[in-house]
Structure 1
Amino acid sequence: MEMDSHQALAALAWQIELGADVAVGEAPVDRYALPDRMPGARAPAKPAQGAAAKAPVAAPPVVASDPLAEAEALAAGARDLPALEAALAGYEHCELKRGARNLVFADGMPGARLMIVGEAPGRDEDREGKPFVGRAGQLLDRMLAAIDLDRAESVYITNVLPWRPPQNRDPKPEEIAMMQPFLRRHIALAKPEVLVAVGNHACHALLGKRGILRLRGHWTEAEGLPCLPMTHPAYLLRNPAAKREAWADLLEIRAKLEAAAP
């Protein structure tokens, strides 16, 4: 059917009114295909004739720090107890350090025949920078005095963790693992003859075991030394009836020291 010019213009106006205002070509166009170059974008510059192509410079690889490996290296490098304390003070991977007031390293007589390993500092220990100085520490001093021992002369004391956990919470396994190289080096440098592991977390660090009420009173070995697990003095303060078993443990310690005396 042929249309005259008036009919063609009317049909075109009707299509424009419907929104069909773009002419359709004879070939289909893929509107989702990306062009090789965006309109207005510059073509990549060609290298100058004779210029040597420069290879892209690779960024240096990022080496992740291994907290345990660093702890082992620092501990192994300590030649004496002051150097070990300095190494601990410079160790930055334990988050407990950021919330503690002081590093709690040790107390007592270095080189003493008996070395006591506790769990972690409490509020009083964090304030004074020494292990076992609160109520539990005062009880420990009385217990040692009962078998003629004194921390100032014949006992050396440290903890698994040198920094206080927030709100005195239990140490986390990863925190104990980070501190184990320092603890092992501490024992090697202090050179005791007998170890006492006080509380669950000390047993975990030294023996790889938990369950202090089951472990206490039974001699075992840690770091090549005879080791006796004992209940923590803080537990004895909460459970006075357990002091009878603690007294038996103290007698075991005295007997072991006497048997090993030169």
Structure 2
Amino acid sequence: MESALDYHSAQALLAWQIELGATDAICETPVNRYELQARLPKMVSPAAAEPVKPKDVDPVAVARQMAKDAVDLGGLHRALGQFEHCDLKKGARSLVFADGQPGARVMVVGEAPGRDEDIAGKPFVGRAGQLLDRMLAAIGLSRQENVYITNVLPWRPPQNRDPLPVEVAMMGPFLERHIELAKPDLLIAMGNISCEALLGKRGITRLRGTWGEALGTPVMPMFHPAYLLRQPTQKRAAWADLLEIKARLLAG
């Protein structure tokens, strides 16, 4: 028969055991700690947070907003310099913005800078530019007095390759704003890329010599001077186009 301990006796026995060095209380029957561990609920590690992906940037939308914010040609020049979404900028030496007289009645839109233009930082300064100057002089025009010149792209493509459609689309808002701020009476689209950017059409052989319209401004498509250097027999067609431009200017 088990003898029951009173409170004071049990407390005295516990104090005696502690004095002997006991640190843990044990039950009358042994406990299998391995089984106890198996029955414990497993800790569930929190799910790793998915990395937040940056929102996709629409370069055309960025270009459109930056161009819209430019209130003058100087502001547009600065905006182009701050635009970081065109990879052509990384490989080019210069930002080729424009040359000639802002506010002139005639605005020439070329395709993209070449090697000479990239070095000089101005459009149409190589052999093609020299031919362009002679062509304009034949009808009494010059970049020093009454012509303003720019390109569809402000940066030179690698190896002078043709501009890609995505590059033309990206620079489109800047070109449109350039024309709005320059306010020419007529535009000359030099080459296929310029016709595509201004008129949404390609096929310069078919388009040249026929007036089109962009942003409410008359557009004359012409062979690019670089093409005329390779195909001098087409200079007769270019001369006819120049006479059309001269007649349009004289008509007011």
Is 2:36 the partner of 1:44?
no
- Stretches of structure 1 lacking an aligned partner (at least 5 in a row): 1-37, 46-55
Question: Partners in 2 of 1:238 and 1:223 — Cα distance?
Answer: 32
Runs of 4+, deviation exceeding 4 Å: 56-61
Residue among 226, 243, 246 paired with 1:254: 246
Aligned ranges 1:29-108 → 2 under 5 Å: 43-44=42-43, 62-108=54-100
Matching of residue 117 in structure 1 with residue 109 in structure 2: yes
Q: 2 CA distance for matches of 1:63 and 1:168?
A: 33
1:59: how far off?
A: 6.6
- Deviation, structure 1 residue 43: 3.4
Q: Secondary structure at the match of 2:233?
A: helix
Q: For residues 156-215 of structure 1, give each alpha carbon's deviation from its aligned partner in whole angstroms, at most 9, with x where no partner exists.
A: 000000000000000000000000000000000000000110000000000000000110
Q: Which of 154, 160, 170 does residue 168 from structure 1 map onto? A: 160
Taking the aligned partners of 1:247 and 1:188, their CA distance within structure 2 comes to: 28
Aligned identity (percent) is 66
**Superposition RMSD on alpha carbons, in Å?**
2.1
What is the CA–CA distance in structure 2 between the aligned matches of 1:235 and 1:58, rounded to whole Å? 54
Shift of residue 105, structure 1, vs aligned partner: 0.3
For 2:159 and 2:41, how far apart are their aligned partners in 1?
Answer: 63
CA offsets per residue over residues 61-92 of structure 1, 9 Å max, x none? Answer: 63221111100000000000010011001111
Structure 1 residues 1-262: aligned runs within 5 Å = 43-44=42-43, 62-260=54-252
* TM-score when normalising by structure 2: 0.81
Distance 1:200 1:61 in 2: 39
Distance 1:42 1:86, change over 3 A: farther
TM-score by length of 1: 0.78
Number of aligned residue pairs: 213
- Measure, in 1, the Cα distance between the counterparts of 2:53 and 2:212: 46
Q: Secondary structure of 2:209's partner?
A: coil
Partner residue in 2 for 1:33: none
Query: By how many angstroms is 1:42 displaced?
Result: 8.4
Deviation at 1:108, TM superposition (A): 0.2
**SS of residue paired to 1:196:** strand
Aligned-partner SS, 1:229: strand
3-state SS in 2 of match to 1:161: coil
Structure 2 counterpart SS, 1:226: strand
